[in-house]
Amino acid sequence: MCLPDKINPVAPALAFEVTSMQTTHPTEATVASINGVALHNAADVLTADELRQRAYAELLRQTAIQNGLLDANDAPSTDGVASEAASIAIETLLDQELLVPEPSEEACRRHHAANQASHYTTGERVHVRHILFAVTPGVDLNALRKQAEGTLLNVRCFDSNNTDDAFSKAAKTLSNCPSGAEGGQLGWLTSFDCAPEFAKELFGHAEVGVLPRLVHSRFGLHVVEVMGREAGLAQPFESVHGAVRMTLKQQTFVTALRQYLSLLAGSATVHGVDLEAADTPLVQ
């Protein structure tokens, strides 16, 4: 199955959040650098998102050195893998620099009420099949999107008696997922079986049939058909209070991290990579 897993809860938050800020596309053949420190080798072919992630990580590594949290002899990475000492120093830096207040009880209750159907239910399942148009380094995104949109239109244009054959045939001939050989069948899924951005489009909704929009995930563009739903049981606020609180804290952390990275980028010499930069403090 190619709708994998949730994000590793112990992985650095930077990796997913920075990537999610921008759309992936191939970069030009140039060596990008931060304050004169190369982010990759000349022969490497990286996407724009990969370069941004490396650039922000290097900004944090350099700032950790400046703040005395990391030995100045720590070697910069050109393969995207920071040293263990650098990873620890960056985590310490973020703990010191980012203000992440505890959310209020009122804010937690508002969030729960607004998101109970989509986030705070248990046991909800959907029966799904999909056609994946994978985003890979060097792919022409405009052409890929047109192909995905054309396929979506084609499978939706067939009447209910013929949609099954049309979808199955398209999955077998076009899908970049191994499930294509089975007509795109993914079977019955829970939210824990899917990448979060994919699950967001499937769960907490009432739609059945071919979704009228492409679903975007880290793997590419999906034409999705919901073939059946089993409703979940809503969880009361008291039973998920801790999860709600952590969700709001994570949202605040992401906002603060983006602002901090923008400030660092605004005072750095950046070459060969586009970063969101700010030259004045931002309100957190």
Taking the whole predicted model, whether its pTM rises above 0.95 is answered as no
Give yes or no for residue 76 having a pLDDT over 60. Answer: yes
Domain that residue 205 falls in:
121-233
Co-location of 219 and 260 in the same domain: no
In this prediction, residue 284 carries a pLDDT of: 38
Residue 51 lies in a domain: yes
The CATH number of the domain where 155 resides is what? 3.10.50.40
Co-location of 229 and 257 in the same domain: no
Residue 238 lies in a domain: no
pLDDT tens-place string over residues 31-61:
999 999 999 998 888 888 888 999 999 999 9
Residue 222 lies in a domain: yes
Co-location of 65 and 37 in the same domain: yes
pLDDT tens-place string over residues 93-125:
999 999 899 999 999 999 999 988 777 888 889
Co-location of 54 and 133 in the same domain: no
Nearest Cα to 119, choosing from 240, 267, 270, 278?
A: 240
pLDDT tens-place string over residues 10-24:
334 454 344 443 433
Co-location of 127 and 219 in the same domain: yes
Co-location of 98 and 128 in the same domain: no
Kindly report the backbone phi and psi dihedral angles of residue 156, in degrees, each rounded to the nearest multiple of 5, phi listed first.
Answer: -80, -20
Residue-by-residue DSSP string for 190-240: -GGGS-HHHHHHHTT----EE-SSPEEETTEEEEEEEEEEE--EEPPHHHH
Co-location of 46 and 142 in the same domain: no
Give yes or no for residue 280 having a pLDDT over 60. Answer: no
Co-location of 158 and 182 in the same domain: yes
Co-location of 140 and 97 in the same domain: no
Domains identified in the chain, total number: 2
In this prediction, residue 226 carries a pLDDT of: 94
Residue 114 lies in a domain: no
Report the number of secondary-structure helices (H) and strands (E) in the chain: 8, 10
For range 165-183, the mean pLDDT: 94
Residue 115 lies in a domain: no
